[in-house]
Chain A
Amino acid sequence: MELHQKTIHEVSADLKAKKLSSVELTKAVMDHLEKVEPKVQAFITITRDEAFKQAAEADKRLATGKDITALTGVPVGIKDLLCTKGVRTTCGSRMLENFVPPYNATVVEKLYSVGAVSVGKTNMDEYAMGSSTETSFYKKTKNPWNLNCVPGGSSGGSAACVSADQAFASLGSDTGGSIRQPAALCGIVGLKPTYGRVSRYGLIAFASSLDQIGPFGKDVEDCAIMMQVISGHDSKDSTSADIPVPDYLGEMRKSVKGLKVGIPKEFFPDGLNKEVSEAVKKAIEELKKQGAEIHEVSLPASPYALAVYYVLAPSEASSNLARYDGVRYGLRVPGENIMEMYSKTRAAGFGPEVKRRIMLGTYALSSGYYDAYYLKALKVRRLIKQDYDKAFEKVDVIATPTAPNPAFRFGEKTGDPLTMYLEDIFTVSINITGLPGLSVPCGMSKTELPIGLQLIGKAFDEATLLRTAYAYEQATEWHKQKPSLKEA
């Protein structure tokens, strides 16, 4: 196996033992990254020079033997909506084509503080609005398993780069499924932490009551390593939770014997893709084999989650994106007066999906419609949360499919916005309720596209998700398969 194909937990032992330097490792990854990038197109900005500087610093640190973690000297990718000091951060939008943040997001600061190396900023749907990364202003990221298919979205670049071994791990963000769905479609592990577990300071906001930053890893253990570093309270984010962070790697290795796994029938509707449904059911059987107890649970309001989401997320977005006015940063298109400048700037800076959602949100919040749409959605949001609260009185974790189908082809769902929105049907309720969710590979379609198992946990119980996923993963080989990087 070549160096770039390994996992963090495999290379970190060699780094610590000084059998391998971070510069060597970074060179191996960067060479591979640049070689396959014309096919995958996972990055908006590749930071080759900065990466080697960081690697050299990491090697100094490794030489002292002090303050070393599993991530010290390890190359990772960062979604292009996390602010990186001195490195352009575009959010996939023309609006921020020349935006160079004067500060680092807290999660970036945390990665740097343990000596991780950033290889670049990954492609994404514009302002994280999309499920295929096709709304990016910059490029279309390809699914490494089939270059004619989408990688999922919105964190498509972060998922594809890990799947294609262009980075050992990456950071993404998840507002309605944007970590879990691309993880499923690219055959890797992705974790959306509980709302408040990871600081959002320096994350370019989409929908502030739903957004959460989380990791992608080649396997569960790498995901746990990333979680350990990025979790925890931050005084710069007033919604960040002051709750102790457990030892994820230790918790992960515990057995699932006696663990209560809930299966909600609402997530296995008639007409669900057969291959997806069978793969997920087989995964549940494996957990049962290892001593987990399987219980049926009911989440009757969850089929309404997507409708709730497509009121709440655009509403919050319309408010958050009001800041792009051409005054302090970002694009400016001149106008005769200030109103014209605003309207022309926003018309030129935002793409069609972002405009659509701003208008939808503005409408839902406007006088005369607020009660009918926004307030109604908030009430149903409570019903959905109550369902989960009730289910979690009975079970420790809930298992469902991550996405309704394996990866689809470019252009297949761009004609009608609602068709694309349905891609999030199994993931959005977790953002609405703030709960943690993880996707782990659990199968392969006949067309050789990966399928993901979604595990949903109690608030702040990411440890149980990692434990369940690890137990399953150790009994299977899905995470060891490598994509073809071919068109099919």
Chain B
Amino acid sequence: MALSEKDVQYVAKLARLEVTDQEVAKYTQQLANILEYVEQLNKLDTANVEPLTHPLDVKNVFREDKVQPSLTQQEVLSNGPEVQSGHFRVPKIM
């Protein structure tokens, strides 16, 4: 599975990362090296092995549906890069 510059451009787009041509060239080489290292996993037969997503047995945790203290609107907005009338402001979407 050779990695091409086109793949890297596509992945950068999916990841919402603006990349320069030099970065694409550099990352293509570096990611290809890492993926080549990862390929060693194919030496192991895992046909009958169940995937393990989590080290512990996790189950859904519920709490009582009761109102608990939470952050104020002011606190929540305090780190917003652009805030207006109690909202986060973003560029036009539609």
Contact = CB atoms under 8 A, between A and B. Distances in A.
Contacts, number: 163
Interface in B34-83: 34-35, 37-38, 40-42, 44, 46, 49-56, 58, 60-61, 63, 71, 75-76, 78-82
B21 interface: no
Contacts of B80: 327-329
Interface stretch (A137-145, A254-262, A332-340): A332-340
Interface in B74-94: 75-76, 78-82, 88, 90-93
A329 B75 CA distance: 11
Contacts of B91: 334-338, 340-341
A335 B37 CA distance: 38
A362 B41 contact: no
A332 B90 CA distance: 10
A100 B80 CA distance: 11
Contacts of B18: 343-344, 346-347
Given A307-B38, A336-B91, A383-B49, A328 B79 contact: yes
A3 to B, nearest CB: 38
A332 B51 contact: no
Judged by DSSP, the binding face of B is: loop
25 contacts: A100-B79, A102-B71, A102-B78, A235-B63, A238-B60, A241-B56, A311-B41, A332-B82, A338-B91, A340-B91, A341-B91, A343-B18, A347-B17, A359-B8, A363-B3, A363-B31, A369-B1, A373-B35, A376-B41, A379-B49, A379-B51, A380-B41, A382-B50, A418-B33, A434-B55
A342 interface: yes
B55 A375 contact: no
A378 B16 contact: no
A432 interface: yes
A346 B3 CA distance: 23
Interface string A322-362: 10011111111011111111111011001000011011101
B40 A209 contact: no
B16 A382 contact: no
